[in-house]
């Protein structure tokens, strides 16, 4: 049975076995002592009989000694039996009526009573010790749960002990650790939600104020051209708000890790072409030359839709900070460990104080455009990292910027 292999049960059974062995030894000792008491009294009784007979008939010494020392026990047994039966001394006599037993009965009884008391005390101590240990373990776990529920630290005793009790303590600590992590996660999610709402409220405040002002002005008596101008400005603000809300919701979902990214083979060349397509007009307006180099078979495992949005945000950032007639170089490669995309421009570069912060959401560097919100690069970083990737930037003032995007290989 499985329960017999439990360390606590094995220890308890071992103690019972030891008490059993000790009980047998003590029982033998008690029986030997009882027999010695009876033997001593028999010897004294025989000595008294021999002394009384020989004092009157010394010639009978040899015969009497033979009988007493068991050398000749069967001689004249019937005669002795007949004589003693006259005085009711026979085999049917009770223990209390036998003189030797009667005189030593209390001593023998005390020895056996002491033996019973020893057995009782031994088992009582063993049981008490077992249940004291059990009680202490349960109390220790109860205190641990109580302190943990109150958010206080508590060190459980004997947490590495063997057996089911040790396993229970280990599982209890694992459960409380998981619960603490979930509580901390819920708290961080609450803070994240609060920050997101605050950020959205803050970012929408400016366009909302402009909209309200323009709407109020529309009630005035304005000429048609002015109204059309105001309507265009309102339309631009609404478009900006629409883009801002969608972008912030995307970013919030990314940071909350509630988006399921596809795990498909993505061709990097196709990804770059798809990312550049919406930005072709701004590149043409600034006359920026584009160079793409890499193995057209290079790929990685990820989600092409989200990846193209991330790459598009990075390329858009490079275009915005590159002067007219500038260059934009995109190279990529694949090796057994990772796939890498490098996007390099020869624009104005990033100030060294801004580099550690450019991937933080709503961060606006010293060279940021006035209408910049600071979402694009933060979103790109979240998308890339959610696909087992990394991104970092190298830049020097007036020497251009270089973004390195790495997608690590996935091995099952």
Where does 264-408 sit in CATH, by number? Answer: 3.30.565.10
Average pLDDT for residues 339-351, to the nearest whole number? 90
Domain with CATH 3.30.565.10 in the chain: 264-408
Instruction: Please tell me the predicted confidence (pLDDT) of residue 267.
Output: 94
Are 153 and 176 in contact, with CB atoms under 8 Å apart?
Answer: no
- Interatomic CA distance for residues 55 and 130, integer angstroms: 66
Residues 105-110, mean pLDDT to the nearest whole number: 75
| Nearest-angstrom CA–CA distance, 127 and 123 | 6
Residue 76 structure tokens: 């004249």
Q: Where in the chain is the domain with CATH 1.10.287.130?
A: 179-256
- Give the predicted TM-score (pTM) of the model: 0.51
For residue 333, give the nearest of 301, 300, 298, 303 by alpha carbon: 298
> Can you give the pLDDT at residue 4?
54
pLDDT in tens, 292-335: 999 999 999 999 998 998 999 899 989 988 888 899 999 999 99
Instruction: Burial-class residue 124 by CB neighbours within 10 Å (0-12, 13-18, 19+).
Output: exposed
pLDDT tens for each residue of 170-199: 777 888 878 878 777 777 767 756 666 666
136/382: higher pLDDT: 382
CB burial readout 255-286, b (16+ within 10 A) else e: beeeeebeeeebebbebbebbbeebeeebeee
pLDDT in tens, 52-61: 777 787 877 7
Asked if 351 and 275 count as a contact pair (C-beta separation under 8 A), the reply is no
pLDDT of residue 300: 93
Topology of the domain comprising 179-256 = Helix Hairpins (1.10.287)
Q: What is the dihedral sign for C-alpha 293, 262, 392, 382? A: positive
């Amino acid at each position: 049975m499985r329960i017999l292999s439990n360390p606590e049960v094995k220890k308890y059974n071992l103690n019972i076995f030891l008490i059993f062995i000790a009980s047998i030894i003590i029982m033998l000792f008690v029986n030997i002592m009882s027999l010695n008491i009876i033997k001593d009294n028999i010897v004294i009784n025989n000595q008294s009989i021999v002394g009384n007979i020989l004092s009157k008939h010394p010639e009978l010494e040899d015969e009497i000694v033979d009988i007493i020392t068991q050398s000749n026990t069967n001689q004249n047994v019937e005669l002795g039996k007949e004589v003693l039966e006259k005085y009711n001394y026979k085999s049917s006599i009770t223990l209390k009526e036998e003189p030797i037993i009667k005189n030593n009965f209390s001593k023998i009884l005390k020895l056996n009573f002491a033996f019973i008391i020893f057995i009782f005390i031994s088992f009582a101590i063993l049981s008490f010790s077992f249940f004291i240990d059990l009680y202490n373990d349960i109390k220790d776990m109860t205190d641990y749960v109580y302190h943990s529920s109150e958010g206080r630290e508590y060190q459980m005793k004997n947490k590495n002990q063997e057996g089911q009790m040790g396993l229970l303590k280990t599982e209890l600590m694992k459960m409380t650790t998981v619960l603490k992590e979930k509580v901390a996660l819920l708290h961080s999610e609450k803070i994240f939600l609060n920050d997101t709402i605050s950020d959205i409220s803050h970012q929408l405040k400016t366009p909302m104020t402009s909209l309200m002002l323009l709407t109020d002005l529309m009630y005035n008596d304005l000429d048609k051209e002015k109204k059309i101008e105001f309507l265009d400005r309102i339309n631009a603000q609404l478009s900006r708000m629409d883009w801002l809300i969608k972008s912030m919701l995307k970013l919030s979902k990314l940071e909350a890790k509630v988006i399921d990214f596809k795990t498909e083979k993505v061709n990097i060349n196709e990804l770059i072409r798809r990312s550049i397509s919406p930005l072709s007009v701004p590149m043409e307006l600034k006359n920026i030359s584009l160079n793409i180099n890499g193995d057209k078979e290079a790929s990685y495992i990820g989600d092409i839709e989200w990846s193209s949005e991330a790459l598009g945000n990075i390329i858009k950032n490079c275009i915005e900070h590159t002067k007219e007639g500038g260059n934009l170089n995109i190279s990529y490669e694949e090796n057994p460990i990772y796939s890498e995309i490098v996007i390099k421009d020869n624009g104005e570069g990033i100030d060294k104080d801004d580099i550690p912060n450019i991937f933080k959401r709503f961060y606006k560097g010293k060279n940021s455009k006035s209408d910049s919100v600071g979402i694009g690069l933060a979103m790109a970083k979240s998308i890339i990292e959610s696909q087992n990737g990394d991104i970092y930037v190298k830049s020097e003032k007036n020497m251009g910027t270089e973004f390195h995007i790495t997608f690590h290989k996935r091995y099952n």
